[in-house]
Structure 1
Amino acid sequence: MPPNPSPPEVAVIGGGPAGLIAAEVLGRAGIPVTLYDQMPSVGRKLLMAGRGGLNLTHSEPFDRFVARYAEAVPRLLPLIEGFRPEDLRAWCEGLGQETFVGSSGRVFPTAFKASPLLRAWLSRLDSLGVRFALRHRWQGWDEDGRLIFTEAAGQAVRTQPAATILALGGASWPRLGSDGTWAELLSRRGIEIARLRPANMGFTLPWSDLIRSRFAGEPLKRIALTFEGTTVKGEAVVTADGIEGGAVYALSAKLRDAIERTGQATLHLDLRPDLTEEALTNRLDAPRKGQSASTFLRKSVGLGPVGIALLREGSAPLPAEPDALAQLIKAVPLTLTGTKSLDRAISTAGGIPFDQVDEQLMLRRMPDVFVAGEMLDWEAPTGGYLLQATFATGIAAARGVLARLGIPDAALTGGLSSATGQT
């Protein structure tokens, strides 16, 4: 009786969450996997994201959750249905990392860090036999269709796996490994690439010398921002050349697109979203009793120095009438003139359009090559949506490989059995 043939080997290129989870799915199915990454270690952007608390996903109702992906919903919905927010939480807890829901509905590991999760994850991948080839920069394919890598010493390495998953990330924070150089490599093979653009980023605007010198780095707490009829409550930070922060990121796609169309975008800042315009007017109609304007605004409506400076930035002198001043407090105009650079953005828009891949994320022009994560052309706000879709596309690509190779899928959902058989 002939021996059973060895299962085919699969290459995963990219050591971020999409590549790591793809390697796990393949490893669970008994596939020999080599994960290649140009950096000396994997998961670097994940570790950076965990510095302020690793936001894994979000607990809001599923229909509202998936709507955050805007134009990409038709293609991402079936992939995220295959690995939903509750599945991501269960997977995390299967690695011994309990999760909790914060006051905003965002989901975090109880440890509030990425490092314990990454250590447990790498241990699991090791137990599944996943091999890591670090300091290997991908250079495309040779004339025989083999993958080419350059090692740290400059030596070329060639390999021809049965299938390849590309999970090289976008082009934000290139010092962590995702530098977007894959776009040129794929363009040479006839793959269409939508221009890589910053997403979830800050914006530039021409502050006065006063704002730049005195208030750079100052937080704007409990504010609301409005653009094109969409209002977001949250926080922001004044920078020396503009503004950034969670509330800004939530509107960043619309703001970026408007600036690309017209060269600028006017964002309206509500310094007291908890008070109506009428309530503000009533407070501002009180006698000033010889107080300076700054003292009066601080005592009557609770504005701090940075808020008062922003009022004067757009309208000097301040309106004398209480109703006009209340209107300004509720809608301080901020004229944004540009985006912060792609290399400092939280994530990347653009990439490989979904019409370039099939339902299993295999490139239509390149059979046996699959794509996952931020390389695909989708974007989402911060709040857990980025990681959720990254995981979901990594899993979908791995399952596409298994289907292509005719190998049963060892599902990650449900009981989430670990590599040792524990649940």
Structure 2
Amino acid sequence: MSDFDEVTPDALVIGGGPAGLMAAEELSRAGHRVLVADARPSLGRKFLMAGKSGLNLTRDEDDARFLAAYEEASAPLAPMLAEFGPRAVVSWAEGLEQEVFTGTSLRVFPKAMKASPLLRAWLARLAGQGVETRTRWRWTGFAEGGAVCFEAPDGPLTLRPRVTVLALGGASWPRLGSDGAWVGALEEAGVAIAPLRPANAGLAVDWSDHMTRHHGAPVKGVALLAQGDNGQRHLSRGEFVITARGLEGGGVYSISKPVREGARLCLDLCPDLGAQRVAERLGRPRGKQSRANHIRKALGLDPVKLALLQEFGRPLPEEAGDLAALIKALPVAHQGLRPIEEAISTAGGIRWDALDEDLMLRALPGVFAVGEMLDWEAPTGGYLLTACLATGRHAGRAAAARLAGSPKD
């Protein structure tokens, strides 16, 4: 294994996603020579994929509500999000000449509605600041003396930077680079890691044949209720889609955490009607109508909702009150969350007690970690990207201060 045959950089950033690029920007702005290495053929691949359906940068809501979305991780993330929260993200995007707008859901998007223009502008700015990049460099761990090891196109090599920022992502979308392969190397180095689990994930459902014609159908106007044994209730009114393998979409993702932790999931097919009102409508004489037609007309249920009722509720109760109760709390028979490689993001990662306040690994002085490698999770809707940028900025500034031999400002 040979040493890098060029001048070793002051700072090495491993991973070219948003968190890593933000760390690189802070380090280069401070005047340090920075190298960004990524295992994939190009940088920002997951960022670009996320932008295909409209790049959700952040969220236009007050600080307290925004921070609450991170739940258990809100305390350690609070100072970083105070330094670089939603308003700072907007200013950052506008500084890259990307106009933004706020949608009706308070989500903030670039007017271009995709990631590629922003990423191109960002990479150009980083190049102008002297940031170097290498692709197809796969990090393989640390060698004796803290050397950083890679498998590169020309073979194995080592680098000995003064500081290193790890920005390798979680374990979702491994084909784009976030495969969680770093876990073993860090555990071997004595870094405590919470197991990686799927977050913002769809549900696996083993559908009966009669649901085949509904694959791809959106489900609207339904509430999802996840209730744990401790009595905690999590309600979602978001839309979702029936797929061949289960349920996907924002409405499902927002309750995937409690479901992952064992909460029971029910659908309310008539969330705008109380149970008594539903029972009254179902109790009206149906005449010569079939029972299915009577339910459909009485409650205005579309074919998709009727199919879900039949799928999860058969045999349907005969008494109107019992049927109303079922429609208001239809148990979803599922096989758990979809696999981690299909999830939008991951939970788990480097434990907070394995890091100092600057996001430096206590077991590896001079090595910082950012983004989804850390033990936090948040719903979709701008929270994920904002925290990745904020942690990258925080660690980048701290690493720059370490290089300068002074505490971070």
Q: 1:167 and 1:315 mapped to 2: Cα distance?
A: 46
Q: 1:224 and 1:240 mapped to 2: Cα distance?
A: 21
What amino acid maps onto 1:246 in structure 2? G
Match of 1:385 among 376, 383, 386: 383
User: Are 2:190 and 1:186 aligned?
Assistant: no
Q: 1:289 and 1:60 mapped to 2: Cα distance?
A: 51
User: Are 2:40 and 1:42 aligned?
Assistant: no
Match of 1:286 among 284, 287, 305: 284
The equivalences for 1:92-103 within 5 A come to 92-103=93-104
Name the structure 2 match of 1:254. 258
* Contact kept? 2:26, 2:400, Cα under 8 Å: no
Name the structure 2 match of 1:31. 32
Match of 1:242 among 238, 243, 246: 246
Q: Deviation of residue 132 (structure 1)?
A: 0.4
RMSD (CA atoms): 2.0
The equivalences for 1:302-321 within 5 A come to 302-321=300-319
User: Are 2:204 and 1:204 aligned?
Assistant: yes
* Contact kept? 2:13, 2:35, Cα under 8 Å: yes
What amino acid maps onto 1:241 in structure 2? R
Name the structure 1 match of 2:220. 221
Q: 1:403 and 1:72 mapped to 2: Cα distance?
A: 25
* Contact kept? 2:81, 2:387, Cα under 8 Å: yes
Q: Deviation of residue 314 (structure 1)?
A: 2.9
* Contact kept? 1:29, 1:409, Cα under 8 Å: no
* Contact kept? 2:8, 2:159, Cα under 8 Å: no
* Contact kept? 2:9, 2:34, Cα under 8 Å: no
Match of 1:230 among 223, 228, 234: 234
Name the structure 2 match of 1:84. 85
* Contact kept? 2:313, 2:331, Cα under 8 Å: no
Q: Percent identity?
A: 52
Name the structure 2 match of 1:420. none
Name the structure 1 match of 2:176. 176
SS at match of 1:54: coil
Q: 2:108 and 2:287 mapped to 1: Cα distance?
A: 49
Normalising by structure 1, we get a TM-score of 0.90
* Contact kept? 2:8, 2:161, Cα under 8 Å: no
Name the structure 1 match of 2:402. 404
Q: Deviation of residue 252 (structure 1)?
A: 0.9
What amino acid maps onto 1:182 in structure 2? W
Normalising by structure 2, we get a TM-score of 0.92
Which runs of 5 or more residues in structure 1 are unaligned? 1-5, 259-264, 412-423
Q: Deviation of residue 409 (structure 1)?
A: 10
Q: Deviation of residue 266 (structure 1)?
A: 2.7
Name the structure 2 match of 1:339. 337
Q: 2:172 and 2:8 mapped to 1: Cα distance?
A: 36
SS at match of 1:392: helix
221-230 vs 202-211, greater mean Cα deviation: 202-211
34-43 vs 231-240, greater mean Cα deviation: 231-240
User: Are 2:133 and 1:132 aligned?
Assistant: yes
Q: 1:57 and 1:278 mapped to 2: Cα distance?
A: 40
Q: 2:179 and 2:245 mapped to 1: Cα distance?
A: 25
170-179 vs 305-314, greater mean Cα deviation: 305-314
* Contact kept? 1:25, 1:410, Cα under 8 Å: no
Give the total of aligned pairs.
398
SS at match of 2:90: helix
What amino acid maps onto 1:326 in structure 2? A
Could you list the per-position Cα deviations for residues 381-416 of structure 1 after superposition, in whole angstroms to 9, with x for gaps in the alignment?
1111111111110011101102212378999xxxxx
